[in-house]
Structure 1
Amino acid sequence: MDSVLLPTEIEFYIDTMKPQDMENLGTRQWLEWHQRLQKLNQEALIEASAVKEEYVKEILISLGKVNILIYEAILVNIWKHKVLPHLLKMQPYPESTMIAYSILYHEAVCVTLLELVTFHGSCCEAMEDSALDLLDYTCGLASRLLSVKYQEMNTKESAKQELGRQRDNLDFDIGIKSLSIIRYICESMERLPLSVCSNIYTQHDIPTLFIEILRNKPWIKEDKQYSTGKWIQWDGEAVCNPAAQIWLTLRHLLLDQACPQYYPITETRKVQLLNLLSLLTPVILDQLSPLIELKQWLSQISITQQPSAPPRPILLEVCLEIKEKILHQAGGKWKEIAKEQLPVIFNNQKDFLVESAKILNEAYNTDLLEKFDVKNTISCAKCGKDSIQRCSRCKRSWYCSRKCQVMHWTQHKENCEQA
């Protein structure tokens, strides 16, 4: 069967989805929840790659569970900025970072699934006011692309440095995916609350943000481009997927009929926008023909006089319900939460790590992902590299080819043969 989950399992997993508490992160119960979410993510990836009915998406929308994915992503994002620094101060030399990395990776799983489902306008419409939280969250991550750099593994790095690199690399990958989600939200503006449209142009000023990201090109490194979670060869001309997402978003926002109302073109904005003309090369226009209209619009504003100061903007009170709820529940007691989580997050007991590794192993079906040519972004919990191989016997357990796996390969082999 070319699927990770049966239809009944998909319905059960989604129907029983509920927001997690921050104090629960890293526990056995949470690991089982992470396992279920990753299986749903893989099933959604396979459905999209096989161009068949996207059952995961349909059930998420019909049962009203898309908002839980947003909640989970924001929860982990707050945890890594508010709680993780305290944990690393309390335990600056952790022996095992598997649980901490799993929590960070959980955010990437949520964003990957959100990227898949928000492609559909019906999903964006179902989010309603939660779209504000998702927009705020993804814009924050997209802006991280201006500062965070993808880092290669250093064999001499400490466990703390290793976790920091894994966190930054995940931030980079999530930031790239956020570009797509922002585009889908922008293209669904008419279906969303008015405050979303206002925030796109005013609060977050996505046109200016995207122009800066486009000029920095964080997805290009020497002769390689970042695509589907890895660096691949680049011929110097092909439009990279992140760049295409930005260009299409800019075209939609600037040519949309709502633009003059929310984003009047002043002289200051005009100078910023005209930077795009030099980037709209014939090679780009040949590959993305809809951008011809954008170039014509830019050429038109370049010869017209614009006001020096914008008119008074439309002010709408914005309430980020999901983010505020999480912050209210935590009550600012980040250090106290870290103290409670320390024995779990940096637990180095062999039995606990083996049991946790078994739970995580169940979440990844590399056979089906390879069959459908779907990128499996799970990395070794120790080194963070995308170097996972399958056990030739059981076809399920994963280990790092660089021999830094949590459960040593010889131990896994013995367990597998006994089974």
Structure 2
Amino acid sequence: GLLVSAPEAERMIERLKEYPLEAVGSAPWMEQHDWVEKLNLQAHHNAQTHSDEFVMESLVSFDKMSVLVHELLAIEVWKGKVLPHLMKHLANKVDSVTSYLLLYHEATVANLLEVSLFHSHAAEACSEDAMLELVDWCHRKMIYLNNEAHYDANPPDKTKEEWLKQSSEDAFEDKQKEINFGVGMAALSILRYLTDHVKVLPLGVVGRMVNSCDVLMALVPLVDKPPWVRRRKGETQKFVQNKWTTVERAERMRLTPADAQVWLAVNNLVVDAAFA
């Protein structure tokens, strides 16, 4: 069924706005987060059921794609610059739902952009400045996937006693790492879609991908050493559909969707004449 109807989605999308950093966590910001969460779930439902993608179409019609990019960047900066100063307070003084929403906002916005940017006209609807920033954001996440993600994907095993003794701050940090990993995976899909849509992207954006960021060189190591594959207790696990799944020996060579995104993006960057 519908989480939000098309008219409801339009009303929400029409009211989406860019919030400054100091507004993060405020009541209006929280309300917008709730809208984005609902729109994200509905957009994924529409895509999976091959039904009318009215969420994406409304984002394009109301010219809100660039607003989503702004919100993505704002929460990234907030998590990098503000959150470290608030971590102890959020972990110990604020209810877990509120603190989780603050952490999860980047993933929610990234997921909504991911499902929308599958379509070239959604990419075309972004301003050039927003697209440049989005390419930079994707590049930062590729650097993350090549580095910290390997540690975030392989947390040390804990005994029951260690879990019980874990402080609120440690639990908060673990949740943050888990969310960061999911954001990195969404960024991989977004980057691949951008390489698909090269014909509708401004030349400056293509130049940013090829020259300034050199996303090809950021993607190649992921072919050889993907962070979404790990060994746990003698078993191979792969991160598929936002969860770790044990892979049978016979299935170990099968590509995951993340592997496919890397190969498709690399293929686009190498083969498409627009990137030459």
* TM-score, structure 1 as length reference: 0.59
Please give the secondary structure, in 1, of the residue aligned with 2:92.
coil
Report the alpha carbon displacement of residue 194 of structure 1 after superposing the two structures with TM.
0.9
Report the alpha carbon displacement of residue 206 of structure 1 after superposing the two structures with TM.
1.1
Give the match for residue 94 of structure 1: 92
CA-to-partner distance for each residue in 1:351-405, whole Å, 9 max, x for gaps? xxxxxxxxxxxxxxxxxxxxxxxxxxxxxxxxxxxxxxxxxxxxxxxxxxxxxxx
Please give the secondary structure, in 2, of the residue aligned with 1:5.
coil
Report the alpha carbon displacement of residue 92 of structure 1 after superposing the two structures with TM.
8.7
Give the match for residue 252 of structure 1: 268
Please give the secondary structure, in 2, of the residue aligned with 1:221.
strand
Cα distance in 2 for residues equivalent to 1:247 and 1:79: 32
Match of 2:244 among 226, 231, 242: 231
Cα distance in 2 for residues equivalent to 1:259 and 1:115: 22
What amino acid sits opposite 1:94 in the alignment?
Answer: N
Give the match for residue 9 of structure 1: 8
Cα distance in 2 for residues equivalent to 1:35 and 1:84: 20
Q: Do the aligned partners of 2:117 and 2:190 also contact (CA within 8 Å) in 1?
A: yes
Report the alpha carbon displacement of residue 57 of structure 1 after superposing the two structures with TM.
0.5
Give the match for residue 167 of structure 2: 158
CA-to-partner distance for each residue in 1:146-204, whole Å, 9 max, x for gaps? 22222478443211111211111111111011111001111112211111111111111
Give the match for residue 133 of structure 2: 133
Report the alpha carbon displacement of residue 238 of structure 1 after superposing the two structures with TM.
1.0
Give the match for residue 200 of structure 1: 209
Please give the secondary structure, in 2, of the residue aligned with 1:9.
helix
Query: CA RMSD of the aligned region, Å?
Result: 1.7
> Pairwise mapping of residues 183-222 of structure 1 onto structure 2 (< 5 A)?
183-222=192-231
Cα distance in 2 for residues equivalent to 1:93 and 1:34: 20
Q: Any gaps of 5 or more consecutive residues in structure 1?
A: 261-419
Please give the secondary structure, in 1, of the residue aligned with 2:245.
strand
Q: Which has the higher contact order (CA 8 A, sep 6+)?
A: 1
What amino acid sits opposite 1:250 in the alignment?
Answer: V
Pair 233,12 (structure 1): closer, same or farther in 2 beyond 3 Å: same
> Pairwise mapping of residues 17-416 of structure 1 onto structure 2 (< 5 A)?
17-88=16-87, 91=89, 94-96=92-94, 97-129=96-128, 130-146=130-146, 147-148=148-149, 149-150=152-153, 151=155, 154-222=163-231, 223-234=236-247, 235-260=251-276
Report the alpha carbon displacement of residue 61 of structure 1 after superposing the two structures with TM.
0.4
Cα distance in 2 for residues equivalent to 1:35 and 1:193: 32
* TM-score, structure 2 as length reference: 0.88
Cα distance in 2 for residues equivalent to 1:161 and 1:98: 16
Report the alpha carbon displacement of residue 58 of structure 1 after superposing the two structures with TM.
0.5
Cα distance in 2 for residues equivalent to 1:62 and 1:187: 22
Give the match for residue 410 of structure 1: none
Report the alpha carbon displacement of residue 36 of structure 1 after superposing the two structures with TM.
1.2
Structure that is richer in helix per residue: 2
Pair 93,75 (structure 1): closer, same or farther in 2 beyond 3 Å: closer
Give the match for residue 400 of structure 1: none
Please give the secondary structure, in 2, of the residue aligned with 1:231.
strand
Once superposed, which parts of structure 1, at least 4 consecutive aligned residues long, lie more than 4 Å away?
A: none
Pair 142,156 (structure 1): closer, same or farther in 2 beyond 3 Å: farther
Pair 128,20 (structure 1): closer, same or farther in 2 beyond 3 Å: closer
What amino acid sits opposite 1:226 in the alignment?
Answer: F
What amino acid sits opposite 1:86 in the alignment?
Answer: H
What amino acid sits opposite 1:248 in the alignment?
Answer: L
Please give the secondary structure, in 2, of the residue aligned with 1:233.
strand
Give the match for residue 389 of structure 1: none
Q: Do the aligned partners of 2:198 and 2:274 also contact (CA within 8 Å) in 1?
A: no
Equivalent residues, number: 258
Q: Do the aligned partners of 1:95 and 1:159 also contact (CA within 8 Å) in 2?
A: no
CA-to-partner distance for each residue in 1:182-229, whole Å, 9 max, x for gaps? 011111122111111111111111111101122221011121110111
What amino acid sits opposite 2:199 in the alignment?
Answer: E
What amino acid sits opposite 2:57 in the alignment?
Answer: E
What amino acid sits opposite 1:78 in the alignment?
Answer: V
CA-to-partner distance for each residue in 1:222-260, whole Å, 9 max, x for gaps? 211101110112220210111100001111111121344
